[in-house]
Structure 1
Amino acid sequence: MFINRASSLVVFCGDDRLLADIDRGVTANPALIGRVSLVGYDGALGPDGSYLVRSARHCIGTIDTQPRLQGEAAGRVLLEEYRNEVAGGLSRVLVEPRSVTSRELD
């Protein structure tokens, strides 16, 4: 991997579990520490209810796509379809993502 010693990098990760893997890689490479910041994407929660990215050393935030609300919305749409309550096409439900900053992770 080519690394310009004078630069820094923000990596937008596809999901928070991928962020955790990349965080371990950055932590294992002393040349990257302090130069790489990570942003997660999904807002996954751990068993204690806190964001999974909270334990990542190099995370500066995540985008909470509210997976629980997405699951609830999908369940409602499928149940409505099953009960034939949806007339004339597909239902659409918008779940707004929310930015979670490093201050909220602490």
Structure 2
Amino acid sequence: MIESTAWAATRTDSVRVQATSGGVPTSVHIDSRELRFGGTELAKTILEVHARATQSAMARHRTRLERDGMPADVLDRLGLPRESTVADAENELLGTEPAPVSWMKSL
């Protein structure tokens, strides 16, 4: 079985995580600016971004299985989310996640 992978990031793109549909993180990027918030807050952010990446990878996996002919009720029982559900959750998060202090990046 080929696992799907997906990236997720904070709104400021300062923490990015790639994860498989099985929940295995395959890559993590942490901007040095995130270190100012301390270990506990950084760990919380990494875990939240990881969970979003995993959900996106699971949705991609579902799409591929649907395309290959697997019935939707089986995919539902497997707990694989639909891409639209994941997109709705991301859009809702954008409304609650604080905006960056500045859209400009320092050079």
Question: Fold match, TM over 0.5?
Answer: no
Give 1 or 2 for the bigger CA radius of gyration: 1
Determine which structure has the larger helix proportion and give its number.
2
* TM value normalised by structure 1: 0.29
* TM value normalised by structure 2: 0.29
